[in-house]
Amino acid sequence: AEELLINSEKLSIAGQLAAGIAHEIRNPITAIKGFMQLLRSGRTEKPMYFDIISSEIERIEMILSELLILAKPQLIHTERKDIQILLRQVTTLLESQANMNNVQIVTEFEPCATYVLGDENQLKQVCINFIKNAIEAMPHGGKIQIQLNRTNVDTILLRFIDQGCGVPEHILAKLGQPFLTTKETGTGLGFMVSKKIIENHNGTIKVSSVENEGTTIEVCLPAAK
């Protein structure tokens, strides 16, 4: 009976996700169709419509690439990776986006071994998602602290601390559900995908947030030898 319950629960989650995907992808498709029709009628500002169509296609691509991470069967490329090096690469990648938004990324890494067993690309995706959310939470700029240390012999502790708007209470309770977003162009998938990846790595995640003060995302991952 318990197994049946688990199965029906899985089904309803799959159903929920399917409905969400259908809805999220139908919107840009409707827009693309509409602008294609306008283009065909030939009495329009063409360049602008091409821009809109490409950005709507990009949106569909973004949704699909985030969903594909979920479809991957557990971990595929498990390697011994230094989280510290990975974080340096990710912060370099996001530096210009941070600068453009007057956001300063400060890394506070303890001098200790920070190896984990995992999929490099997936772990990078997690860090990118959290740093992007932090940047987006600070429209007037601010500081993101990235702290890395070991709590004990077998756990690596990673924190992303921002001084942003904070996660609204009604969102905080539901974080991890798909298509949950407060942003005009958000997908509401980044957090869910990140949480899933961390769980696939036998890690845990904790969010604490105070409105208009900031948010701390705390990630624990098992340390590799």
Which option in ligand ADP, Mg ion, none does residue 116 bind, with CB closer than 5 to 8 A by kind?
none
Q: Which residue is it, tokens 């453009």?
A: 100
**C-beta of 185: minimal distance to ligand ADP in Å?**
8
Nearest partner of 71 among 205, 192, 206, 220, judged by Cα: 192
**C-beta of 61: minimal distance to ligand ADP in Å?**
14
What residues line the site for ligand ADP (CB under 6 A)? 129, 133-134, 137, 162, 164-167, 171, 180-183, 186-192, 215
Confirm if 29 and 35 have CB atoms less than 8 A apart.
no
Contact status: 190 vs Mg ion (CB under 5 A): yes
Size of the site for Mg ion (CB under 5 A): 2
| Neighbouring C-beta atoms of residue 25, cutoff 10 Å | 15
**C-beta of 190: minimal distance to Mg ion in Å?**
3
For ligand ADP, which is the closer residue by CB, 67 or 224? 67
For Mg ion, which is the closer residue by CB, 53 or 189? 189
Q: Which residue is nearest to ligand ADP (CB)?
A: 186
**C-beta of 106: minimal distance to ligand ADP in Å?**
15
Choices 19-27, 76-84, 170-178, 183-191 (CB under 5 A): range interacting with Mg ion: 183-191
Choices 31-39, 90-98, 139-147, 188-196 (CB under 5 A): range interacting with Mg ion: 188-196
Instruction: Select from 91, 114, 125, 133 the one that contacts Mg ion (CB under 5 A).
Output: 133
DSSP 37: H
Confirm if 106 and 144 have CB atoms less than 8 A apart.
yes
**C-beta of 1: minimal distance to ligand ADP in Å?**
34
**C-beta of 189: minimal distance to Mg ion in Å?**
8
CA separation for the pair 187, 176 (Å, rounded): 13
Contact status: 194 vs Mg ion (CB under 5 A): no
Q: What is the 3-state secondary structure (H, E, C) of 70-136?
A: HHCCCCCCCEEEEHHHHHHHHHHHHHHHHHHCCEEEEEEECCCCCEEEECHHHHHHHHHHHHHHHHH
Q: CB-based contacts of 217: which residues, under 8 Å, 6+ apart? A: 130, 159, 160, 205, 206, 207
Applying CB under 5 A, the residues found at the interface with Mg ion are: 133, 190
